[in-house]
Chain A
Amino acid sequence: MPMKNPMVSSKDINKRPSFPMQVLVRKEIAAHIRSWRFIILILLIVLTFGASLYVSSMGLKDAVSNMRDPDQSFLYLKLLTTTDNSIPPFHVFLNFLAPLLGIALGFDAVNAEYNNGTLTRLLAQPIYRDNLLFAKFLAPLAVVGTLFVALVMLMIGGGLLGTGVRIEPQELLRILGFTLISVLYVAFWLSLSILLSIRFRQPATSALTAIGIWLFFTVFFPILVNLAIRPFLPNPNYISEQEYIGYNELILNLLRLSPSQLYSDATTTLLMPSVRSLGPISMEQMVGAIPSPLSFRESFLMVWPQVSGLSAAMMICFAWSYYIFMRREIRS
């Protein structure tokens, strides 16, 4: 068989700088974009975004002209948060959908490669093992990030065209902050589902486990916290206001163990500039306070614990998956 020196000599290969990470991420992104799973997810997100935007733009006139609302001048934030209660606003929707997005993009990240017999083949190439893991993590995030940024940009653009109202720099910052936190929230669920995809050999098992965890946090966790606290809770009529606030604070802090609570705290604060506390405030604290919006910096400082909590949870999941993946037997 004639061979026109098809083998590039190994010297050439060594000379050229190689970026296996880039190649891996590109391949992952391509695989995600072409997959039906991702198309369905995009449709879902775009639909909810469109629906909530439609509802909010219907009620926009009332919301903006409501003089008693300190946030009334933030038209673009209103566009994201106003609702007539027929459907929830987008950030509440995302509280449910973002975990689904993260789980769907990560639940078979490693075990599908393993079951297809591609993992051994891939790791026999001159790449580091963690390159693969980073690519599995970064590629979906890049896709999700692009999706979210595109959506909010579309919203801002549409708002500019429709209303002609100038966007405040503060609003832009808040909306970008909201996007960033949403991506971070997806990143947490993604790293959790990657962890499960390494831990379990069957994609169905890891998907079910991830969905189980998601359901637990969204449905059962608040109920459980209530059940756990109620027996210890004295009758509110017989305790001082101080104690009452203390108990309230305790319940809230317990709820904040759930990532979805952290996310909703953070997004609510960022998207509603007048939110100045995430817990109960006593009358003494309220005295003299003018109901005015906070600056972006103040709002951001307020959600900083939530943001760091989410990042910490994400990093723990990722570090754990890193640990078990590096030492895993890769033979099938």
Chain B
Amino acid sequence: MIIMKDPIIQLTGLTKSYGKVTAVDQLDLHIYPGEIFGLLGPNGAGKTTSILMMLGLTEPAAGTAYVCGYNATRNPIAVKRKVGYLPDNVGFYPDMTALENLCFIARLNGLSESDAQASAKDMLHVVGLEKEMHKKTGAFSRGMKQRLGLAEVLIKAPEVAILDEPTLGIDPKGVDEFLELIKQLSREHNLTVLLSSHHLHQVQRVCDRVGIFVGGKLLVEGSLESLAHNLQQQKGISTFITLDHGQSDTKRFEEALKTLPGLRNLTVNGLTIELKTDSDTTAMAVRMLVNNGADIVSVNRNDYQLDDIYNTYFENSITTDNAYEKSNGFFKRYQ
């Protein structure tokens, strides 16, 4: 488990607006050393904007961002020395080889030429690109670019790694490997990782904690278990019980089930009975039915997965989603 120390990333009332659109609205977030935090939200929720403010690349309209003890707006250089950032559409100089690209970044971080060469080679081994070392990055696939981007994040020996949509555009196998690599590196080097994504399935395996971010607001944060638990409290547990054919008299069972403790809702649809209860009463319900002579062919209890959590919070946001389309209108004017 995570030991609660002083937060390494501390955002207080962080706000950013583009014209009338508020991209990030009063964001408060604490991330602790060594944890992997997943910032989840639909496209245009303000994830990238928040990340840019943490790096001092965009000025917040209000609020403060402290990263590694430095104010990111006032002292961005100190922050950038300690934070590795992988942007969502990472690009490299196409005419330079992977090694040259990496060396260049290492040199910018103050490594001498020979040190830069050595650690760039090491990093390429770590991310599994050692065979492509002398290939020009213009020929790299998306997955390879992401790996090279990760190598670049690691080469500055960061305390915090911020990865913006790191799994975007990689095939499923590549995603698995990539996330495993991130998890492993985080554990080995006590690296704090902030991961933004709109892909739940991919992210849920590696994150210690997640925050759900919609329309510039952080709706909820916590570990996946606690989020699922909260949702259960809120929505109740659904149990689906299917009876065998020839059990025409479902009324009898209904009467019996109504005595279940904490029952919220009971629907009978042909041979299927759907129960909604406060706590898990599946076993009790099955026993009751059996005692009443029911022949049960299947019992289904639904567990709350990240998907359900996500859907719950996002289904309300679909209508507002368009307003936040990466503030596209604003940028297009300048093209």
Contact = CB atoms under 8 A, between A and B. Distances in A.
Interface of A: 1, 3-4, 6-10, 13-14, 16-18, 20, 23-24, 27, 31, 34-35, 116-118, 120-128, 200-202, 329-332
- Name the residue in A13, A31, A120, A201 with the highest tally of chain B Cβ atoms < 10 Å from its Cβ: A120
Contacts of A201: 334-335
Contact of A128 (B77, B78, B81, B189): B77
A208 to B, nearest CB: 14
Interface in B83-133: 83-85, 87, 89-96, 104-105, 107-112, 115, 119, 122-123, 125-126
B57 A123 contact: yes
A18 B157 contact: no
A121 B95 CA distance: 16
Given A14-B81, A117-B89, 13 more contacts: A1-B126, A6-B122, A16-B110, A17-B110, A18-B109, A18-B110, A27-B104, A118-B91, A121-B90, A121-B91, A200-B335, A331-B58, A332-B87
Contacts, number: 116
A13 B109 contact: yes
B199 interface: no
B48 interface: yes
Contacts of A17: 110
B93 A3 contact: no
A14 B109 CA distance: 9
- Interface of chain A: mostly helix, strand, loop or mixed: loop
A327 to B, nearest CB: 8
B90 A117 contact: yes
A25 B52 CA distance: 26
A120 B91 CA distance: 9
Given A13-B81, A121-B152, A329-B331, A31 B109 contact: no
Instruction: Please name the 6 residue pairs, one residue from A and one from B, whose CB atoms are nearest each other, closest first.
Output: A117-B91, A18-B110, A6-B122, A7-B157, A124-B85, A116-B91
Interface residues of B, number: 50
Nearest to A9: B157
A7 B189 contact: yes
Interface in B69-85: 77-78, 80-85
A35 B95 contact: yes
25 contacts: A6-B119, A6-B122, A8-B111, A13-B111, A13-B157, A14-B81, A23-B104, A23-B107, A24-B108, A31-B93, A31-B95, A116-B94, A117-B87, A118-B92, A120-B57, A121-B91, A122-B108, A126-B77, A126-B108, A126-B109, A202-B335, A331-B48, A331-B49, A331-B52, A332-B87
A330 to B, nearest CB: 6
Contacts of A200: 335
B87 A23 contact: no
B35 interface: no
Contact of B111 (A16, A34, A121): A16
Contacts of A123: 57
B188 interface: yes
